[in-house]
A and B are shown apart, each in its own frame.
Chain A
Amino acid sequence: MAFYLAFKEVWRNKGRFFLFSLVIALITTLVLFIAALSEGLALANKEFLEKLDAELLIFQENVDYVASSSRIAKSKINDIQRIDGIDKVGPIGFSNGTIVFFDGRDDLNVSLIGIEANQPGSPPVISGVSFQIDRGTEVIIDKNIVNQTGIKVNDKIVLKTLQGTDEVYNEFDVIGITDGRQYLYQPSIFIPYRTWEQIRPQVNISSSLIETTSNVLAIKLEENQDQGLIQENIVEQVDGIDIADVKTAYESLPGYQAQQSTLNTQRYFTLLIGILVIGGFFQIQMLQKIPQIGVLKAIGVANPSVAFAVVYQIIIVTTFGVFLGAFISFGLSAAFPPGIPIVFTGNSVVIAIVTLLLIGPIGGLVSVRLAISVEPLIALGLSS
């Protein structure tokens, strides 16, 4: 009976309920886009670290896990490598550069990531080949660069970096393409470590010759090792370092927490607005239907049937609106250019949709309460 009443009312007032579903669809679109933007921005910041084939990262002591502030002498690699349970240790260096085009295309800023061949940090190749040696003028590029510029394997690229105050141009051969590995909102170019040391921007041209350092060391553990125990051992045996797991490392990226909490706050406020809008709509509708509900109760329709009719109606309208909004969101996102950081991940979309489906009934609780409280005497123009 409850579903029958709910469905008939929605069906016979399709225009009104469709308009309201559109409002829910717009809220859904907003929530999904904020979620996708949050995911996209986070990914653009942390993608390289998140996909790193390592469990732990070593930073210089007291730099709050900020890679750009961290300097690790390469000599530490041997100290760490000796500790039981550690499989590989790879130095990773981060800097910035620009791919320069001479054919009128816009230059592209990139993260230059220095890595050693076959060590943690070295990216898997989805096209072309991997590095075999730690020097040379070969690079592996992130597929985001391919999407944005059309560069392909075996192409030559020119990278501009700063050495002192001079702009220095170096030519490189693209030998491979890796999956998305952005770092600090820029697509990445992976360079053999020794080469990276030479081209990375430096205050003085000669400073790279003082000592070989990297920003961080990535540690891959042997199988079935106790990560916590090894972490403790490293801290005990190696001086002047801080150690973090990958999640802690990317959560410590500059601006990451502030950005995520801002976007999450926006998302929660949008959900709250959704609850208020849905609650308001059904409440107004319920106020208009009080005499009608009084008649239904007077002729013998039980309270649970009246209450569930309201709940079913909310579920029908919310479900339609949410899926319409999801459809609109995916349609719109497909039309966006590749550089926009909008990423729909299964997890975030499912969480957003389930939350949106739940806010309907939550928002409608007040109107359910009102429906239950309507007295059948209303039908006779009386009240108790």
Chain B
Amino acid sequence: MKKEKKPIIETTNLSKIYQSGNLNVRAVDNATISILPGEFVALVGPSGSGKTTMLAMLAALLTPSEGQVIIDGYDLSQMKEAKRVQFRRKNIGFTFQSNNLVPYLTVQENVEMMLRINNQLNTDGRKKVVNLLTRLGLDDRMRYLPSQISGGQRQRVSIARSLIHDPSVVLADEPTASLDTERAYQVTKIYADLIHENGKAGIMVTHDLRMCKYVDKIIQIEDGIISNIIEGRGTIDEFISCA
């Protein structure tokens, strides 16, 4: 009998309510999702739909107003700030839109930083960094500063940084926003491959539906409400082609 996988990310009736004058604005409204290990999910929707707010709550950067976020068995909605910092450091890997590398650290040092802050930077850790950067085609750029490499290379460094400390969840906020189409596909594919290979739960916020060709699930969000969840290769491809 096949053992059923336990979700790494689970949200239940998750809401974020902002006060705007006398109005309560529900940036995310009753969102319930679950993401399994090795599953790569795209969070899509128009600007202002609440996808980044949703990502921030999943990343332990924002406390939910209502509902629950459980990642790896930890309830983030109950967690204190100091614990959340520790949790992010250990359990979450981040890729942001752009300019997210430390400009005065080399490519290698940027990736090593995640091991450094997790006290895992030893000989094995350094080897792991070199191997991952080599895998991402950056072996000849390891001593370069972020300003000395291209935008696509910077995003690949960022992907390496988000995975090197073996987090259970990897999150990406518009990782291809500043890239041309070819590089955007390249980066998304690498991201998807690494998530699948390493059994991570991955969420990518994107406004570019073409990038969804590598994901396993699309969660569509509109006005803070999850309006559609699209699963299965065929359905996803059909959704992309219709968009």
Indicate whether A and B interact. Answer: yes
B102, CB-defined interface residue at 8 Å: yes
Residues of A contacting B109 in the complex (Cβ-Cβ under 8 angstroms): 8
Residues of A contacting B105 in the complex (Cβ-Cβ under 8 angstroms): 8, 12
> A9-B104, A382-B52 in contact; A300/B173 too (CB < 8 A)?
no
Residues of B contacting A298 in the complex (Cβ-Cβ under 8 angstroms): 59, 61, 88, 94, 96
B103, CB-defined interface residue at 8 Å: yes
> A301-B117, A380-B52, A382-B52 in contact; A296/B104 too (CB < 8 A)?
no
B210, CB-defined interface residue at 8 Å: no
> A301-B117, A382-B62 in contact; A292/B56 too (CB < 8 A)?
no
A350, CB-defined interface residue at 8 Å: no
> A302-B85, A382-B56 in contact; A291/B94 too (CB < 8 A)?
no
Residues of B contacting A9 in the complex (Cβ-Cβ under 8 angstroms): 104
- Produce 1/0 per residue, A295-311, CB < 8 A to B: 11111111101000000
Return the contact of A8 from the options B104, B114, B118 (Cβ within 8 A).
B104
A377–B104 CB distance below 8 A: no
Tally of contact residues, A, Cβ under 8 A: 27
> How many Å lie between the Cα of A340 and that of B85 in the bound state?
60
> A300-B117, A376-B61, A382-B52 in contact; A292/B102 too (CB < 8 A)?
yes
B52–A381 CB distance below 8 A: yes
A4, CB-defined interface residue at 8 Å: yes
Closest to B62 in A: A377
- Produce 1/0 per residue, B97-116, CB < 8 A to A: 10110111100010001101
> A1-B117, A300-B117 in contact; A382/B88 too (CB < 8 A)?
no
Residues of B contacting A305 in the complex (Cβ-Cβ under 8 angstroms): 117
B102–A384 CB distance below 8 A: no
A295–B96 CB distance below 8 A: yes
- Produce 1/0 per residue, B69-104, CB < 8 A to A: 000000000000010011011101010110110111
B53, CB-defined interface residue at 8 Å: yes
B104–A12 CB distance below 8 A: yes
B96–A379 CB distance below 8 A: yes
- Produce 1/0 per residue, A362-384, CB < 8 A to B: 00000000000000110111101
B136, CB-defined interface residue at 8 Å: no
> A1-B117, A300-B85 in contact; A380/B90 too (CB < 8 A)?
no
> How many Å lie between the Cα of A323 and that of B164 in the bound state?
41
> How many Å lie between the Cα of A298 and that of B92 in the bound state?
10
Return the contact of B94 from the options A8, A299, A381 (Cβ within 8 A).
A299
Closest to A7 in B: B104
> How many Å lie between the Cα of A300 and that of B228 in the bound state?
32
Residues of B contacting A300 in the complex (Cβ-Cβ under 8 angstroms): 85-86, 88-90, 92, 114, 117-118
Residues of B contacting A291 in the complex (Cβ-Cβ under 8 angstroms): 99
Shortest distance between the CB of B194 and any CB in chain A (Å): 17
> How many Å lie between the Cα of A8 and that of B59 in the bound state?
28
> How many Å lie between the Cα of A379 and that of B103 in the bound state?
15
B55, CB-defined interface residue at 8 Å: yes
A204, CB-defined interface residue at 8 Å: no
A13, CB-defined interface residue at 8 Å: yes
> How many Å lie between the Cα of A305 and that of B118 in the bound state?
13
Shortest distance between the CB of B226 and any CB in chain A (Å): 19
> How many Å lie between the Cα of A295 and that of B99 in the bound state?
9
A382–B53 CB distance below 8 A: yes
- Produce 1/0 per residue, B48-66, CB < 8 A to A: 0000110110010110000
A380–B117 CB distance below 8 A: no
Most B C-beta atoms less than 10 A away, residue of A1, A8, A303, A376:
A376
Shortest distance between the CB of B215 and any CB in chain A (Å): 20
> How many Å lie between the Cα of A295 and that of B59 in the bound state?
12
> How many Å lie between the Cα of A299 and that of B113 in the bound state?
10
Return the contact of B100 from the options A8, A13, A295 (Cβ within 8 A).
A295
B145, CB-defined interface residue at 8 Å: yes
> How many Å lie between the Cα of A13 and that of B104 in the bound state?
8
A299–B114 CB distance below 8 A: yes
> How many Å lie between the Cα of A296 and that of B96 in the bound state?
11
B61–A380 CB distance below 8 A: yes
Q: Which A9-62 residues sit within 8 Å CB-CB of chain B?
A: 9, 11-13
Shortest distance between the CB of B72 and any CB in chain A (Å): 15
Residues of A contacting B82 in the complex (Cβ-Cβ under 8 angstroms): 302
Shortest distance between the CB of B82 and any CB in chain A (Å): 8
- Produce 1/0 per residue, A265-307, CB < 8 A to B: 0000000000000000000000000011001111111110100
Return the contact of B55 from the options A4, A299, A380 (Cβ within 8 A).
A380
B85–A296 CB distance below 8 A: no
Most B C-beta atoms less than 10 A away, residue of A291, A296, A299, A381:
A299
Return the contact of A379 from the options B100, B102, B113, B118 (Cβ within 8 A).
B100
Shortest distance between the CB of A8 and any CB in chain B (Å): 5
Residues of B contacting A302 in the complex (Cβ-Cβ under 8 angstroms): 82, 85, 89
| 10 cross-chain CB contacts under 8 A | A295-B100, A298-B61, A299-B113, A300-B86, A300-B117, A302-B82, A305-B117, A376-B88, A381-B97, A384-B62
20 additional A-B pairs beyond A300-B90, A382-B53, beta carbons within 8 Å, are: A4-B116, A292-B99, A292-B103, A295-B94, A296-B102, A298-B88, A298-B96, A299-B94, A299-B113, A300-B89, A300-B117, A300-B118, A301-B117, A377-B62, A379-B94, A379-B96, A380-B52, A380-B61, A382-B52, A384-B62
Q: Identify the B interface with A (CB < 8 A).
A: 52-53, 55-56, 59, 61-62, 82, 85-86, 88-90, 92, 94, 96-97, 99-100, 102-105, 109, 113-114, 116-118, 145, 161, 173
Name the 7 nearest CB pairs between A and B, nearest first: A300-B89, A12-B104, A300-B88, A9-B104, A295-B100, A376-B61, A299-B94
